Structure 1
Amino acid sequence: MTPDSTPAVPATHRVLLLNSTRDPYDITVVEQPTPQAGPGSAIIQILGASVLTFGGKVFSGQIPYPYPTPFVPGSSAIARVAAVGPDATTLEVGQLVFFDCFIHGRDNPNSLILHGLYSGFDAGSNKLMENEWRNSTYAEYCKVPLENCFPLDERRLLGNPADGGFGYSTADLMFLHTISIPMGGLRDVGVRAGEKVIIAPATGAFGSAAVVAALAMGAQVIAVGRNLEALEKIKLLSPEGRVRTVQNTGDVAHDVQELTKFGPANVFFDISPGEAAKSTHFTSCIQALGRGGRVSLMGAFMELTLPLMSMLQNDISVKAKWMYTKEDMRYIIQLAEAGYLKLGQAGGIQTATLFPLEQFEAAFDAAAKTGPCMQTIFVP
């Protein structure tokens, strides 16, 4: 164990408890018994947990996500292993890990939850969140599945650059969560080094993370958005010029002309919010693809009208993706440890603020106001 490794697990710990869905928040910081590790689980000490841009709306009931109450909300986290169950084979106490909040049912991979946020699509998913995995990471300690703890090379990621490390902070590592979602869609359509990838919209939390992900994969990026100032910030993510920008004007013919100035694109990746379902960028970006182009849809969450004739003529394939796989998560960590995925200041990524649990309202408010490649983090 390193000098700052996790001490013995205390009998109680502080948690952010969501008592009920109400606007304004019905949330309190309380002491609870610390969970114990059993077969298939680990207890982790939370060093930092991601705050989603829309988290405040979810936990105040403005966005009606299904989850049990009362419960401890949360998200993915950077943590240290505090205890492990008897069937752990490689995880060790004190080890630095990334905890992935996307939990699958062990006896049914179709039962899926987002730990601390969303209780899934079926009765099996609901059972996971209502019982064993009810309480999440907005807490000092958390019980999690062994298979959702991904070991991190601490010496490489946090170490001194003079000794071959990257000098990241644990807060810098938290961006692995934001980037995991678009990485799932990009890998799902097989993005390869050197390909041109259109990302739209590219200026939100997950769109800007998609740009970072595509660059780490060796792709060229055409970033699309309405806000020119935000697009200029996205362009700075690649000083070597692998990011070009195109404003979405709503004029399909004009936008296609601008997009194709860089030659036919190979991939169009979309992660639009629901209100963008009728946006013209779906048509313009698909029409800017070359023959055999691929489309990855991760956003909108509504019925879309796509340019079918253009898609038929150019053999365009479309795949929809919710979240990512564990292999995607391992790949992201591998890219970070190899230096292809740059985090923190080196990658143009900012941590807006670190918040203690007691400042949950300020944390949710700050997260809602963050710009491209910015993150907000709870530090219990």
Structure 2
Amino acid sequence: MKAAVLKEFGAPLAIETLPDPEPMAGGVVVDVVAAGVTSYAANVFNGSRNYALELPVAPGAGGIGRIRAVSPDATTLKVGDWVFCEATVRSRDNAADSILQGWTYRTAAALPLHRLYHHGSYAERMLVPTENVTPLGEIEPAEAGRWTALGRLLVPFGGLIAGDLKAGETLVISGATGGFGGAGVAVALAMGAGLVVATGRNPGTLDDLVRRFGPRVRAVRMSGVEADDLDNIVKAAAGPIDMVLDFLPREATAAQVQAPLATVRHGGRIILMGGVRSELALSYNVLMHKELTVRGAWMYSREAIPRMIQMIRAGLIDLSQFELTEFALSEANDAVAHAAANAGPRQLTTIRP
């Protein structure tokens, strides 16, 4: 099979021929039709993200495809089924040990998983754990690229489930101008949020969110001055804030995190899903007396995937909101560059092997 291979950090992806994967107990072979390219893929491939990744590897975290060969212990999946391939592969004897297939292994204990399910979706075919493929039902082949938005939508969905968002509640999404934060606005509204306060630094992207989603979204441009940002968030909410979903990037400071966290009501919830590397000075007294829940959430449960597919099928989330740009496998390096330059919440970049 043809694949885009990362042979060393800092080198371009090379289009090479790799052995076809073989089905085995617990794993199915999928013909990859569309694979999403993240905006930070270039930073993974040049090594600046310091992701644990054994080279050479065909990267690519998940995608959309059709089953080519089923595992002998599968009873429902059939050859030809359209499926979403979930990248989070968990050890069967310790779920805390996990990898993102074709992307990174999170702990040394997970290295055997990385070696078994080594190659990702920037390839014509890949071997995927049986439990990591979810049937989509029939879709048009031309729409496969849009369905890669599942990977974008599911991450905030996992956070909103972790925070138990309820219909009618007010939510602050911190970092709403990024890919996951912007997708979180759509998901929260689909789940029945009464009001979403979207915060970020890009006024054009914030205005676009309000324009697309209407009066249930209010935008707050963050200045970096904590007192001013806190005041503006409270004014936009015009009432109690039930939950904060944080998607701030690695470059964000602790002060940027603090303002949204300080706005949540008594008994509210704070869900951290971003990449911030700063230490947070959380007040013991405030956490106790306001009875706040602060929780980290990484990715999402497998149960979230069919739920999100149902939401899309029901029309609660419209995949046409995403602007799709597709590249052939031979253009993988162009796809990586394009994704980095077009990192907004509505932009999807895909490779079509």
Identify whether the pair has TM-score above 0.5, normalized to the shorter chain: yes
Query: 1:362 aligns to what?
Result: 334
RMSD: 1.7
Q: 1:236 is matched with which residue?
A: 211
Kept in 1: contact 2:81–2:137 (CA 8 A): no
Aligned counterpart for 1:318 among listed residues 294, 303, 309: 294
Query: Counterpart of 1:304?
Result: 280
* Segment of structure 1 superposing worse, 310-319 or 286-295: 310-319
**1:237 and 1:243 in contact (8 A); partners too:** no
Unaligned runs of 5+ in 1: 1-12, 160-167
1:171 aligned residue:
145
Cα drift, residue 308 of structure 1 = 4.5
Correspondence for 1:142: 126
Structure 1 residue 306 displacement after superposition: 3.0
- Aligned residue identity for 1:175: A
Measure the CA separation in 1 of the matches of 2:203 and 2:246. Answer: 18
After superposition, what is the alpha-carbon deviation per residue over 1:47-81, rounded to whole angstroms, capped at 9, x for unaligned?
10010111111112222111111111111101011
For 1:171 and 1:73, the matched residues in 2 are separated by 17
User: Residues 5 and 16 of structure 2 are in contact (CA less than 8 Å); yes or no, is this contact kept in structure 1?
Assistant: yes
CA deviation string 1:127-168 (max 9, x = no partner): 1112x10111110111111100000122xx659xxxxxxxx8
Structure 1 residues 295-337: Cα deviation after superposition (integer angstroms, max 9, x where no partner): 0001114422235444333221100011111012222112112
CA contact (8 A) 1:286 1:307 kept: no
Tell me which residue corresponds to 2:202: 227
- Alignment partners' CA distance in 2, 1:309 and 1:213: 33
Q: Which runs of 5+ in 2 are unaligned?
A: none
- 2:89 is aligned, of 103, 107, 113, to 103
Cα distance in 2, alignment partners of residues 256 and 33 from structure 1:
55
Q: TM-score, normalised by structure 2?
A: 0.94
Matched, 1:15 2:10: no
Task: Report the Cα distance in structure 2 between the residues aligned to 1:111 and 1:341, rounded to whole angstroms.
Answer: 32
Q: Aligned partner of 1:321: which letter?
A: A
Partner of 2:38: 52
Deviating beyond 4 angstroms after TM superposition, the runs of 4 or more aligned structure 1 residues are none
Amino acid at match of 1:320: G
Matches of 1:177 and 1:308, distance apart in 2? 35
Partner of 1:128: 113
How much does 1:117 deviate?
0.5
Deviations 1:320-374 (A, max 9, x none): 0111110122221121122212212xxx2211x2111221221111111112221
Structure 1 residue 33 corresponds to structure 2 residue 22: no
Mapping for residues 212-223 of structure 1, pairs under 5 Å: 212-219=186-193, 220-223=195-198
Query: SS of the counterpart of 1:246?
Result: strand
Is the alpha carbon distance of 1:181 and 1:313 closer, same or farther for their aligned partners in structure 2, counting shifts above 3 Å?
Answer: same
Aligned letter for 2:59? P
- Report the CA distance shift for 1:210/1:307 in structure 2 as closer, same or farther (over 3 A): farther
Percent of aligned positions that are identical: 33
Match in the other structure for 2:182? 208
3-state SS, counterpart of residue 98 of structure 1: strand
Match of 2:244 in 1: 268
Match of 1:289 in 2: 264
Greater alpha carbon shift after TM alignment, 179-188 vs 253-262: 253-262
Letter in 1 for 2:347: M
C-alpha distance after superposition, 1:162-195 (max 9, x if no partner): xxxxxx8111111000111121111101011111
Residue pair 2:32, 2:121 contacting (<8 A) in 1 also: yes
Judge which range, 258-267 or 94-103, deviates more.
Answer: 258-267
User: 1:308, 1:237 → 2: CA distance?
Assistant: 39
Aligned to 1:84: 70
Aligned residues: 348
TM-score (norm 1): 0.88
Code of the residue aligned with 1:268 in structure 2: it is: V
CA–CA separation in structure 1 for the residues paired with 2:20 and 2:221: 50
Contact 2:326-2:351 within 8 A present in 1 as well: yes
Aligned-residue offset at 1:217? 1.1
Give the Cα separation in 2 of the matches to 1:85 and 1:296: 37
Contact 2:248 2:257 in 1 (8 A): no
Counterpart of 2:68 in 1: which secondary structure? strand
> Which deviates more from structure 2 when the two are superposed, residues 70-79 or residues 312-321?
312-321
Does 2:59 match 1:73?
A: yes
Is residue 194 from structure 1 mapped to residue 190 from structure 2 by the alignment? no
Q: Which residue of 2 aligns with 1:7?
A: none
The residue type paired with residue 323 of structure 1 is M
Partner of 1:169, secondary structure, is helix
Amino acid at match of 1:180: L
Q: Which residue does the alignment assign to 1:163?
A: none
1:331-346 correspondence to structure 2 within 5 Å: 331-344=307-320
